[in-house]
Structure 1
């Protein structure tokens, strides 16, 4: 499914911890309006049995304990994510911040605190009628059940949180979706731009309003703006590219009523994100391998693990589908197999040139990719294999290591 601007915003809000936490306060406020309506469904003998004195102590316990648990959990989360950033790469840290399990658990803890605190305030202010206490107790029991489930999930999750294996797995999982979307919707659903195509002299540049990474291109909105005037557009950038203020985002052939509206269709940010950037996950895995091969860490095993994951991801790229463009007025540079291979292997080959086992695994992975269903992949991996062999000849001092690597090609 193609990512749209409303869906992108919805996903970002859903991953935002604040949005989830506020649900607890909203729940407590909503009880003031809905509790009287739910009350007729409760048996009469229960209504007389449950009084505010039975509910308020429970809310007091929740408010005090959940604040402590939330503070402790936040400190654990920050420590784990900082460890992931130092062991892997700061880019992996940003992917860890989108960890749904951690966010859900913290949202339950903090939401329960806000719920209990808000409910206490509503009781003291007289917004809750005494007879609705049975309904408030029922909701509080549901909140306690959610807390118990969250604690169990949190205990299980803490066993891997922040570990290098967990970080590698998350990066691989996050890389798979945008890669699959790029295969299914070549050129973001637009018309693929032929390699080496020249921009017409009459085309007008659409300048970037500020510098930053291109995070998202609203193709549907662009197509609507172009369709109203019959103009066409050639994108100069794709998600993941860094642009400077005033540099072309695209080239416009024709005229539109509001050129500034074209700029608004490009979401720019200070950081690179993976929502539409098919290359980002591969780059992060390669960075983790580079960090592992640095003299201060010297962990070839992690580099080899990253190579295997990159190879798996690229092997799943069976080629760009030949589908009719959804937005024929917009030309977009297509994702290149050569770029993916370079992102995944070039930096690792340079960093691991003195490690025969690392270069050997990289060459083996490239060898397996030769049979990829993507026709562009074979020449790209052949070039990368030659690049690996040239580096090995320069850095491997033992002739047997060099001969073994040459024999794998």
Structure 2
């Protein structure tokens, strides 16, 4: 099964307008259901309800949901702007994918669209007389959904846009991406290493646009092979920037121009990095939150220390998770470069090491985290942490003004967290 259409459909399902449109269709569907089911409904039931009796309920629903939707949208925008200002603009993308906010707003706006559409159809006499029963059932269902959404929204507002909730959300996405990286280090393909022997003749697969590589559809790449076992070697991983015309991959042999074009379409390129296959983006976002907290305008070292602690926990858990005995290789003809452990360490700690070098409490927590990671089970990650420790120590020795603070760096590993 090709992955790119699934990714596009999943992203489309997260759009607010898609869910709202479903409620608009609901009003038209209820009218159609009344016409289709007219013959099967008993006269005693249809005579008991009339369409005009639904007008007050629909009117109240339309007016109240318009006010609630407007208020909720203002709250959402304010919370997102506040989170982006406190943390980093990258978290705005995570908040936009918040399913609770999406579902609640879609219910509010959808209920308004449903009520307004139903009123228009009633005034246009589009409903059959027997539709009153169907309309009543649908309206009751919409009211129940609205009540449940209101209760959920009240609970969700307590931490919407807060720094703690933002850190939790970022950590959750980072953990998901790191878990996927551990299970499939080459995204389901064969790891491309320096020991991989490349064929003599290779055809470049150029990027169709400039931007960030967000997703590689390995199934689509494998399906493009013109000959059995034709090998394809990816040059980039998701998260890296590419330029139009730059080779995204190399295909063995000389595939036709049409095949080269299909191969290029297997690489999803966007204007921004995506959390889906990009294991380093979550760590980078946490480090940006730490750097923002260390800026002179914010001056919140406690948040920086919290972000460092969460990053340490994520990398430790990732390193302690055993590698599969035989990593999943669903597409043996597609080679993908592995993500170096040094890239993860750099994304996680390079910015706090630089921006927090002048604050001893941040330096101590950072060096403690790096010291702990040097003892993890993953030897590559441990070596990268050791290299980053030297860099962080050099930053601190250059930025700290008191000799006592510089001397204390030799005993950082003894300090409590």
Give the TM bin, normalised by the shorter chain.
over 0.9
Would the aligned equivalents of 1:39 and 1:135 in 2 still touch at CA under 8 Å?
no
Q: Take 2:18 and 2:329, find their aligned partners in 1: how far apart are those partners?
A: 36
Aligned to 2:128: 129
**Worse overlay, 157-166 or 294-303:** 157-166
Q: CA deviation at 1:131?
A: 2.3
Aligned to 1:404: 408
Would the aligned equivalents of 1:17 and 1:107 in 2 still touch at CA under 8 Å?
yes
Would the aligned equivalents of 1:216 and 1:268 in 2 still touch at CA under 8 Å?
yes
Aligned to 2:327: 323
Q: Take 1:223 and 1:87, find their aligned partners in 2: how far apart are those partners?
A: 44
1:304 aligns to 2:308 (yes or no): no
Cα deviation per residue 1:352-394 (whole Å; 9 max; x = unaligned)?
Answer: 0001111111122222223333232211111111222121211
Q: CA deviation at 1:195?
A: 3.7
| SS of aligned partner of 1:22 | helix
Q: 1:302 to 1:42 in 2, by over 3 A?
A: farther
Aligned to 1:243: 242
Q: Superposed, which structure 2 residues align to 1:183-198 within 5 Å?
A: 183-195=182-194
**Worse overlay, 293-302 or 222-231:** 222-231
Cα deviation per residue 1:149-179 (whole Å; 9 max; x = unaligned)?
Answer: 1111111111211111111111111222121
Q: Take 2:138 and 2:177, find their aligned partners in 1: how far apart are those partners?
A: 40
Q: 1:174 to 1:359 in 2, by over 3 A?
A: same
Q: Take 1:43 and 1:260, find their aligned partners in 2: how far apart are those partners?
A: 60
Q: Take 1:346 and 1:197, find their aligned partners in 2: how far apart are those partners?
A: 30
Q: Take 1:38 and 1:87, find their aligned partners in 2: how far apart are those partners?
A: 55
1:372 aligns to 2:376 (yes or no): yes
Query: CA RMSD for the aligned pairs?
Result: 2.0
Q: Take 1:273 and 1:319, find their aligned partners in 2: how far apart are those partners?
A: 26
Would the aligned equivalents of 2:62 and 2:113 in 1 still touch at CA under 8 Å?
yes
For 2:364, which of 353, 360, 365 is the aligned residue? 360
Cα deviation per residue 1:114-173 (whole Å; 9 max; x = unaligned)?
Answer: 111111122222221122212211211111111111111111111211111111111111
Would the aligned equivalents of 1:231 and 1:255 in 2 still touch at CA under 8 Å?
no
Cα deviation per residue 1:189-233 (whole Å; 9 max; x = unaligned)?
Answer: 111111476866632221111100001111001011126454211
Q: 1:3 to 1:281 in 2, by over 3 A?
A: farther
1:234 aligns to 2:233 (yes or no): yes
Q: Take 2:294 and 2:199, find their aligned partners in 1: how far apart are those partners?
A: 46
Q: CA deviation at 1:6?
A: 3.2
Q: Take 1:200 and 1:320, find their aligned partners in 2: how far apart are those partners?
A: 29
TM-score (norm 2): 0.92
Would the aligned equivalents of 1:3 and 1:276 in 2 still touch at CA under 8 Å?
no
For 2:388, which of 369, 384, 394 is the aligned residue? 384
1:161 aligns to 2:160 (yes or no): yes
**Worse overlay, 162-171 or 279-288:** 162-171
1:93 aligns to 2:97 (yes or no): no
Q: 1:152 to 1:43 in 2, by over 3 A?
A: farther
Q: Name structure 2 gaps, 5 residues minimum.
A: none
Q: Name structure 1 gaps, 5 residues minimum.
A: none
**Worse overlay, 238-247 or 387-396:** 387-396
Cα deviation per residue 1:265-311 (whole Å; 9 max; x = unaligned)?
Answer: 11111111111111111111111111111111111011111111111
TM-score (norm 1): 0.94
Would the aligned equivalents of 2:2 and 2:219 in 1 still touch at CA under 8 Å?
no
Q: 1:49 to 1:349 in 2, by over 3 A?
A: same
Q: 1:188 to 1:139 in 2, by over 3 A?
A: same
Q: CA deviation at 1:247?
A: 1.1
Cα deviation per residue 1:79-101 (whole Å; 9 max; x = unaligned)?
Answer: 11111111111111111111111
| SS of aligned partner of 2:334 | strand
**Worse overlay, 250-259 or 213-222:** 250-259
